Every structure is written in C-alpha cells, then in structure tokens.
Amino acid sequence: MILRIRFQLRDGAQYELETTPEELDTLDPDKLRSIHEKVTELSRSIASVAATAHEELVSLEGWVDMSGEVPHMGAPVRRLPLKDQILLTYYVMSLKGKREMKPVEVYEFLRNDGFPANYGSVVARINELAKDGFLIREETGTYRISRFGEDRVREILTSQSSA
C-alpha cells in the first residue's frame, strides 16, 4: 500500500510525498528540511534567470522583434556600424537558442532582413570582432558571442537608447 502525505510549511510551501507504511518510520525531518532548502534556493535561481531574460527582451524593445521564430532587426539597428549589427545578430540569435553561427549564416541573416551587407565585409568584421574578444571562434568554423560581446551589446542598447 502506498501512502500519500501532503504537508505545508510555515512559509507556505507545500509538498506531497508518497511512501509505504514501512518507510514512514524512517522519514527524517532534517532530510526533508534540507530538501526544502534546496528547492527554495532553486526557485530563487529560476526566478532570477527569468527576470534577467525578461530584462534582456525589454532592452531589445524597439531594436529587434523577437516575437517570431527568426528575429527581425528594427530601424535603429540599421543606423549602427556593420560590426555592431553583426554583434547584435549573434546576441539575438543566441537568445533564440542558436549559440553558434558561421559567417555565411550571419551574412544571409542580414541580407534576408534587408541590410545591404557585403559578404567580404561581414567576414572581415567578424574576424575583427573575434580579435577584439567580442566573438569566440570555435574549431568548427563557427563563432559565438563572448561575455564581453554581450556586455558590448548592452552598452550599444543603453547608449543609443539614451541618445
């Protein structure tokens, strides 16, 4: 026979536990408290990540439309230098789950979004961004945005928004 026990803690957290009558005698309150602390810590961590993700999307408002499967750059992005457009491309694509991109993919993305990009210029700017530490080149020939690149994108978004 399986027993289902539901209990609520003083802080409002509720748990449901399934056990057998034999195992019921071996339940350790300290172990349950430890599990509760881990769950609480994990909940805070998830809430923090969710808040950060929301802030990221809010900061892109007016710059990039993230509502579709593929992001679309807005008018303010068109006024940026090509290096910043490329960096922003890597940034928004990483938010969409595509962490690594080849230069040809970046070129095609920009061209499909209506940017007058030249493939040679895109490759040259990607190499410059990698030398500056904003992009990281992988062994597969793809690039991904670095932490410094993400910081640079945030700088671009805040400085251009306040201008």
Is a pLDDT exceeding 70 seen at residue 19? yes
Residues 126 and 47 grouped into a single domain: no
What are 100's two structure tokens?
A: 């690594």
Q: Please tell me the distance from the alpha carbon of residue 102 to that of residue 144, in angstroms, as a whole number.
A: 9
DSSP state of 134: S
Give the model's pLDDT for residue 161: 54
Tell me the HSE value of 124 on the side-chain side, using a 13 A CA sphere: 6
Query: Using one digit for the tens of pLDDT, what is the confidence trace for 42-99?
Result: 777 766 655 454 445 446 777 888 777 888 888 888 888 999 999 999 999 988 888 8
Other beta carbons less than 10 A from residue 133's beta carbon: 12
- Domain end residue (candidates: 57, 77, 98): 57
Residues 23 and 85 grouped into a single domain: no
Is a pLDDT exceeding 60 seen at residue 162? no
Residues 51 and 73 grouped into a single domain: no
- Domain end residue (candidates: 57, 84, 102): 57
What total number of domains does the chain contain?
2
Name the CA dihedral angle for 108, 114, 116, 122, rounded to a multiple of 10 degrees. Answer: -30
Residues 84 and 108 grouped into a single domain: yes
Q: Please tell me the distance from the alpha carbon of residue 13 to that of residue 67, in angstroms, as a whole number.
A: 34
Q: Please tell me the distance from the alpha carbon of residue 78 to that of residue 62, in angstroms, as a whole number.
A: 12
Residue 123 three-state SS? helix
Residues 151 and 115 grouped into a single domain: yes
Residues 107 and 127 grouped into a single domain: yes
Residues 115 and 77 grouped into a single domain: yes
Q: Please tell me the distance from the alpha carbon of residue 146 to that of residue 134, in angstroms, as a whole number.
A: 5
Residues linked to residue 101 through DSSP beta bridges, in sequence order:
143
The answer to whether the CB of 117 falls within 8 A of the CB of 136 is no
Looking at residue 71, which CATH number applies to its domain? 1.10.10.10
Give the model's pLDDT for residue 47: 63
Domain extent, residue 30, equals: 3-57
Rounded to 5 degrees, what are φ and ψ at 73? Answer: -75, 140
Global pTM reads: 0.63
Residues 129 and 89 grouped into a single domain: yes
Residues 23 and 83 grouped into a single domain: no
